[in-house]
Amino acid sequence: MIDTFAQDVLNGLTANNKYLSSKYFYDDNGSRIFQEIMNMPEYYPTNAEFEILSMQSKQIIEALKFIGPFNIVELGAGDGFKTFKLLEYLVSNNVDFHYIPIDISQEAIDMLSTRLKKKLPSLKIHPKVGDYFKILKENRKSDYPSLLLFLGGNIGNYKKEEAIDLLGLIHKNMKIGDKLLIGVDLKKNPIIIHNAYYDKHGITKRFNLNLLLRINRELGADFKIDDFDFYCHYNPITGDVKSYIISLTKQTVYIKTLDKHITFDYNELIWTELSKKYSPDEISNLAKASHFKPITNFLDCKHYFADSLWE
Ligand code: AVI
């Protein structure tokens, strides 16, 4: 029996147009490289969303129209760097709420809880590790309304139908009165987007090639990293950033766990990631397609990024 990762690698690398899913970028090493990406000055989403949550916490909370205590449930809380500003605002205004960060990584949740307990000692925090939907289902039983946070623009990494499925599932696990604040990267000057993904430091290249190293490590493959390169391209009409690994020679790679030889042509591509950008109208359409009602968008001052509030 081979596991899901092995099966997905097999499916992707034996397809006519080769592909690998970007969800496999995030092993320990990949997560560290992603932190480096988020710290690059060219990767504008970090600062843009930080600005929204720092400067507009008051407006966001007012727009919820919650009366009395409520929950803030964060899907994929990670290091909680952006959410901190929102939590800090609520704590310093003595607002009655519970913070429920969810992540699949125990390590990330432990670090987040320790940091928050130190910085905001009066915060009522109930960290959870595990499957988003199971935890959301549990949360439906709460007497209080919830604000769900799905930040960072992760929805952009899903194809349209997949995004609608995922959001539909989130919707199914919410109760009447709950709201969702979702981070969405906006269409903008293509040069800004190009520089954020095709970065001159080569960090995004390392992020992509790490996927081949992961296959070497976990599936006993013999990818020679120097024989591959990285390319990405933004299409300002569709809003798609598509990332690829390029084979620099005609070559054969052996994957031991799969007992499979994979051949690559000279300049053959492996599609690794979609990072979709939306216009405000497209955000509304996405909300409606997944059974939500869009309320309002909170934008940073440059209009690079939106935290969109839906009910
Ligand atoms: C996690 N996700 C929103 C990032 C993005 O912008 O699509 C991942 C990333 N890929 C390259 N740079 C950042």
pLDDT digits 0-9 by tens, 153-211: 999 999 999 999 999 999 999 999 999 999 999 999 999 999 999 999 999 999 999 99
User: Can you give the pLDDT at residue 85?
Assistant: 94
Residue range 46-57, pLDDT digits in tens? 999 999 999 999
Residue range 191-207, pLDDT digits in tens? 999 999 999 999 999 99
**Considering only CA atoms, which residue is closest to atom 5 of ligand 1?**
275
pTM over 0.80: yes
Cite the DSSP H helix spans in 40-148. 45-55, 57-64, 83-92, 106-119, 132-139
Instruction: State the closest ligand 1 atom to the C-alpha of 207, by its place in the atom list counted from 1.
Output: 11
pLDDT, greater one: 79 or 69: 69
User: Can you give the pLDDT at residue 20?
Assistant: 98
Does 90 have pLDDT greater than 90? yes
Tokens of 192: 């800004």
Using CB atoms within 10 Å of the CB of residue 131, give its burial: 0 to 12 exposed, 13 to 18 middle, 19+ buried.
exposed
Q: Is the dihedral of CA 26, 32, 33, 36 positive or negative?
A: positive
Report the distance separating Cα 186 and Cα 149, nearest Å: 18
Residue range 257-306, pLDDT digits in tens? 999 999 999 999 999 999 999 999 999 999 999 999 999 999 999 999 99
**Considering only CA atoms, which residue is closest to atom 7 of ligand 1?**
275
Band the pLDDT of 107: cuts 50, 70, 90: confident
- What's the whole-number average pLDDT of the chain? 96
Ligand 1 center–CA 276 separation, angstroms: 10
Cα-trace Rg, the chain: 20
User: Can you give the pLDDT at residue 105?
Assistant: 81
The answer to whether the CB of 290 is under 6 A from ligand 1 is no
Residue 83 amino acid letter: T
Does 1 have pLDDT greater than 80? no
Q: Is the dihedral of CA 165, 166, 171, 174 positive or negative?
A: positive
**Considering only CA atoms, which residue is closest to atom 12 of ligand 1?**
197
Average pLDDT (117-146) is: 93
User: Can you give the pLDDT at residue 239?
Assistant: 98
Instruction: State the closest ligand 1 atom to the C-alpha of 152, by its place in the atom list counted from 1.
Output: 3
Ligand 1 center–CA 132 separation, angstroms: 20
Its ipTM equals 0.99
**Considering only CA atoms, which residue is closest to atom 3 of ligand 1?**
154
Band the pLDDT of 75: cuts 50, 70, 90: very high
User: Can you give the pLDDT at residue 77?
Assistant: 87
User: Can you give the pLDDT at residue 144?
Assistant: 96
Instruction: State the closest ligand 1 atom to the C-alpha of 154, by its place in the atom list counted from 1.
Output: 3
Residue range 214-251, pLDDT digits in tens? 999 999 999 999 999 999 999 999 999 999 999 999 99
Does 2 have pLDDT greater than 90? no
Q: How far is CA 26 from the centre of its chain?
A: 11
Average pLDDT (84-95) is: 96
Instruction: State the closest ligand 1 atom to the C-alpha of 273, by its place in the atom list counted from 1.
Output: 10
